[in-house]
Amino acid sequence: MTPTEPILAGFYPDPSICRVGETYYLITSSFEYLPGIPIHTSTDLVEWHFVANALTRTGQIAEHGGYPSAGIFAPTIRHHAGRFWIIGTDVNGIPLGQGHFLIHATDAAGPWSDPVYISGAMGIDPDIAWDREGTAHVTWCSLNPDEPSILSAPVDTETGAFIAPPRQLWQGTGLSFPEGPHLYQIDDWWYLLLAEGGTERGHAVTIARSPSLDDPFDAAPSNPILSHRSLPHEVQNTGHADLVELPDGTWAAVHLGVRPRGQTPGFHVNGRESFVVGIDWVDGWPVPDETRFTVPPTDRSFTDRFDATALHGRWLGVGRFPETFARPAPEGGLVIDAESRPGRAMLAARATDAVWAASTRFDAATGVGRFLVRIDDTHWYGLTYDGSTVEATIAIGPIEHSVGQWSVSPGSVPTLLMRAKAPRPLPHGATSEPDLVELALESEGTEHSFGEFDGRYLSTEVAGGFTGRVFGVQALSGRIRVDEIRYAAETSL
């Protein structure tokens, strides 16, 4: 059995990677959450550190309604001529002719430039590659029915204009949804790496090559080169890979995968995660070695009392930048303001562990707040506090159901608790649910649990889409002041 630990756990899908010297840079999709496109770095491909988000202001991406699984799709990062470059798709901008965008920075930590839009390239999952003459080529999955499959065109990076008309490179091996292209010029060949089969259980990595961009691309004889479809592996949905050359001339690749749990069909709850594999070159084709890298378990616990001058980059808004509704409180902590402007005022972070606990304390003297874990607006479990009463609610599709209330003593502020717990095994040893989500509170030294609820309803298999669970605090009305939010990679805090 090959290793199962991701390099980025939780909702970090569609990884793209580049190397500068001894340092690797990795970005992932962020969909409806802002700031967008998280950037991580590593020197060994195993231990990764968050650096920054690339999209941090409205001049780069417009705020929107937080439509589920919209926003930023499958960006690519590259380094060329002293600059980092990111090309991505904002699907909210496609109707405006502003789908594909290109930004750059001299430092991966930013600041990143305002976008240049690639007009005339309707589609998703763009890639950028420079040939040996220095011409940039943008490659994408076309959504134009008159020009299907994978298209590529040379582009002026300063204006976004095509230098020549797009050409079709390859239509894949025949599996569904050929997408996620990455184009590389290696030795005497152009290689085109694709994701095929859809980003569910049939996901796979395929590759083709050609001596030039004007000649047909020939598929590798061993396609798909990476897939876990129909295999009894703890990691499924493997695909959407990106290659990188190491300083010693060897190669590796990053790819996405999920870790489903529970009975058929299996349920993944924390989203599509990022993994790493080694790459051998055999007869001119890349062959993944899934045992080359050992990724140790990582403690991702944190406590944030919001006493820094700026929010940590882990904190996200749903279709809004956190700075539009959250600000430091003069007496300490963070004010979340539902009345600052229309739209959702939720401060969220990714859930990253199979079992975990999170807690918060917030003052609701001038508003109503909710502590919740969510996949989207219609799939969430939460605790609402109005200063006197805590109410536990579960939302499953069109149904919102209160599962209990607890009155809080005057003058006290309860600690609100959520726990993602291992499910109870059935008599034959299997489990029905991926996990159980407990909603509870602690007040005046006493803990009260509202119950444990089936985690399947907060899974991608039930809710759909491309994201994973996030948790956090939302102001429903007025203003609340958050003292702290804690997260622990265990079920007790």
CB 451, CB 363: distance < 8 Å: no
From CA 249, how far away is CA 315, in angstroms rounded?
37
What secondary structure letter does DSSP report for 68? T
How many Å separate Cα 67 from the centre of its chain? 15
* Alpha-carbon dihedral angle through residues 72, 75, 80, 81, given to the nearest 10 degrees: 0
Identify the active-site residue in 14, 125, 273, 290: 14
462: enclosing H helix or E strand: helix 460-463
14 is catalytic: yes
Burial 245-266 (b: 16+ CB within 10 A, else e): eeeeeebbbbbbbbbbbbeeeb
Tokens, residue 57 = 């202001």
Percent helix, strand and coil across the chain, each to the nearest 5: 5, 50, 45
Using CA atoms, how far residue 201 sits from 14, 179, 190, 239, 287, in Å, is 15, 16, 29, 10, 21
Cα 212 from Cα 354, distance rounded (Å): 46
Catalytic residue among 179, 196, 273, 353: 179
Q: Are 27 and 13 in contact (CB under 8 A)?
A: no
Residue 336, strand partner residues: 326, 480
Residue 133 annotated in active site: no
| Strands of 16-20's sheet in order across | 16-20, 23-27, 36-42, 49-55
- Write out the catalytic residue numbers: 14, 179
